[in-house]
Amino acid sequence: MKKTMIALTLVVASLIGENPIYAEQKTSYSNPILAGFYPDPSICRVGENFYLVTSTFAYFPGIPVFQSRDLVNWKLIGHVMDRAEQMNLEGLGVSEGIFAPAIRFHDGLFYVTCTLVGGGGNYVVIARDPAGPWSNPSWLPQINGIDPSLFFDDNGKAYIVYNSIAPEDKPLYEGHRTIRMYEFDYKNLKVIGEEIILVNGGTDISKKPIWIEGPHIFRKDDYYYLMCAEGGTSWEHSEVVFRSENVAGPYIPYEKNPILTQRHLDPNRPNPVTCTGHADLVMTKSGDWWAVFLGCRPYLPEYEGFFNTGRETFMAPVKWIDGWPVINPESGTVQYSYPLPLELENADEVVTPYSGNFQITDNFDAESLDPNWVFLRTPHTKWYSLSDHPGSLAIQLRPETCSGKSNPSFIGRRQQHLRGSTSTAMNFMPATETEKAGLLVFQNETHYYYLCKSLEKGQAVVQLFKSDTLLISQKIGKGRDIQMKIIAEGAYYSFYYATKPNKWILLKDQVDARFLSTRVAGGFVGCMYALYATSSGKPSSAVAYFDWFEYVGNDEIYINTK
């Protein structure tokens, strides 16, 4: 197999130098700090280092752990749930699985609490090194709810707070929930004592607030602060705060809640950030406070509410005003750029970028897969190899498909920009019409586009599927090699192929990307680009070899913000 690209393995391309935002990188940073499907962020600081985790739902490995020394440049150092024995995702929908992890540090140990929706429920895992290994889950069956978060008090006690059902399981309205708490025995990893309801309904139950969730407790000066998301994770999403002189309450809501939302803003404003909420706070060594939270970037205003990049991680400054934390107080609008929280000289070198415009190429010439690749559900057998044909990623065709709820031959990376391209070079010779391999852009089991090579009546073809529906098929020659490309342009995808290196042929353009948006497809995830091979329910011994994978993201927002 011939390499058709210059050898670059996960490097920042010259695109960065072309964008004015990076000319001022010494004084500012760009949002989102983690672009693409990185929702429900939680953060903690240990000494000079910050650690951040996010939800992963039905993708494996679960719960990425990012490390930074400046809150801006992040490095993926491992995953919390990276062993099959820790997390079985078999049979779960894409938007089930890992919900809202929270990371905390106490007395030499890191703790992550989380919910495995559709699986074992709530649990806690521990590690001395945040890069791993992490323990197997200690399950918490007494917690009936989601979004658990630990709080370690100054007196040696610990508590776990979480979202739960309405009192006596008798909701007064749709979305009526509570925030509850147990004391937590962190040495034996179990709850103790009686359950306490801290918040019933939300900030003002007379107004029927919905989906109070994502709680975190902080202590500052004379008060305990309870911060929660409210309003659901879509357009009405917000962050609210309560405080009390006692960890068990009563908690009084801030009269100027919410402390973060974008729901009141004109949806036709330029470059909107929407759905903001599910926040966590961190304090720097100098005493400054910052918030990480999820947000979404829709397409242009005429496509209000449609996005394929999922819920992303943003960051904004926090000011304490009259004893209350307020996120982004200088502007009601979440900005795409803020002054740096810390000096960049403290930062590690960026190996894989997660913010701004960038290009990434993987030539599959390492001994193991880059940790940014993920699988759809937990793989229980190894059906891929980097050593069978050195310099290529070999993927076995198996009967499982991405429209099922098992683990297909699917290796994916997040779509991190509204505009950009993804391409690959593949060596594959199908033997039957059920054998297909190629490039997938995937939202969930019923919403995806698949650009693949296969057979029709004995003739090699390149095909484009909209989920299980064939949109177009084009006959190609008898060669084994083919290149494939998907170009994203906001509300549209275009699909290309090449049987000669980089001689691209348009297969179909202006394909509706809104079909893969959360608004149409539902759920809580964002789109993944995946190298995917299947024998469509039939046994097969075929193997597809991928020579390289390239991702280019170039959103105009990062040019226009400066």
Alpha-carbon distance 6 to 2, whole Å?
Answer: 11
**Residues 6 or more apart whose Cβ sits within 8 Å of residue 543:** 388, 394, 395, 396, 397, 428
Residue with tokens 């033997």: 431
Alpha-carbon distance 66 to 75, whole Å?
Answer: 5
Asked if 258 and 238 touch (Cβ cutoff 8 Å), the reply is yes
**Catalytic status, residue 40:** yes
Alpha-carbon distance 77 to 371, whole Å?
Answer: 8
DSSP-assigned letters across all residues of 300-367: SGGGTT--SS-SEEEEEEEEEETTEEEESTT-SSPPSEEE-SS-GGGSPPPSS--SSSEEEEE-S-SS
At residue 20, φ and ψ (nearest 5 deg) are -55, -30
Query: Exactly one of 40, 70, 312, 481 is catalytic; which is it?
Result: 40
**Residues 6 or more apart whose Cβ sits within 8 Å of residue 497:** 451, 462, 474, 476, 482, 483, 484, 485, 504, 505, 507
**Catalytic status, residue 90:** no
Sign of CA dihedral 302, 308, 310, 312: negative
Query: Exactly one of 82, 213, 400, 481 is catalytic; which is it?
Result: 213
Asked if 429 and 436 touch (Cβ cutoff 8 Å), the reply is no
The residues carrying an active-site annotation are 40, 213
